[in-house]
Amino acid sequence: RGGGRGGGRGGDIVASNPTSALSNLILADVTQNFRFYLYGIESSSRDGVKVDSVNRRRALFLRGLFDAKDGLLSRIGVPEKEAESLRRVVFFEGSFIFSARKIPGLDYKHLPRF
pLDDT at 5: 44
Residue 55 — pLDDT band, cuts 50, 70, 90? very high
Contact by Cβ (8 Å): 77, 85: no
pLDDT at 73: 92
pLDDT at 86: 94
Number of neighbouring beta carbons within 10 Å of residue 73: 23
Has this prediction a pTM greater than 0.95?
no
pLDDT at 96: 87
Residue whose C-alpha is closest to residue 103's, from 92, 34, 94, 114: 92
CA distance 15 to 6: 8
Tens-place pLDDT, residues 8-24: 444 455 566 666 666 55
